[in-house]
A = this chain, B = another copy of it.
Amino acid sequence: MINDTNAVLRAIRERRSIRKYTEEPVSRDHLTAMLEAGQWAPSGLNNQPWRFLVILPGDERREELAQCTKYGHIVRNAGALVCVLLQREAMYSETKDHQGAGACIQNMLLAAHALGLGAVWLGQIINDQAASLGALGLSPDDYELQAVLAVGHPAQRGDSQRKPLTELLLEDF
């Protein structure tokens, strides 16, 4: 299989959501490499509407953010949080900017995996924009929170399944 010998295809296939982390800190170099990966995502008209905010342990905004989601325990235990936002004045299309944010997030999740880190895409936390942006000291007039990525050195193996490809293809080719 092509997948087994190609490092990129393997990473795409083997990446899993990791929700438990050791106490080892996440280095600034690793976080920077993740952010640079996010930065290189494609966007419509190359508008690059994404903005990043990194929250490290000790930052009091972490606890405020934890209270905005039922996954607060993950927020509290992560080695770092990468908040991914869209800057409203940089947006050009609701749908395409959300897609672009997804591409940006996926680049960062793959980068984390490739660096030996574990990460999870926290999505439920964006449901109450006023609360979660408020926890970060930001206004919904200026930003739309897209996700919080919890990152750390993995203390678990992830596990997940996918539908068979035949169910996803509208017709054979």
Let me know if A33 is at the binding interface, CB within 8 A.
yes
Q: Judging by beta carbons under 8 Å apart, are A12 and B107 in contact?
A: yes
Copies of the protein in its oligomer: 2
A50 near B168 (CB under 8 angstroms)? yes
Question: Which of the residues B7, B96, B103, B168 comes within 8 Å of A51, measured between beta carbons?
Answer: B168
A146 at the interface (CB under 8 A from B): yes
- How big is the A interface, by class? 35 or more
Interface of A is mostly: helix
Given the complex of chains A and B, what is the CA–CA distance between A46 and B120 in angstroms?
13
Question: A residues near B, CB below 8 A?
Answer: 2-3, 6-9, 11-13, 15, 17, 28-33, 35-37, 39-42, 44, 46, 48, 50-54, 56, 85, 95-96, 98-107, 109-111, 113-115, 121, 123, 126, 138, 146-147, 160-163, 165, 168-171, 173
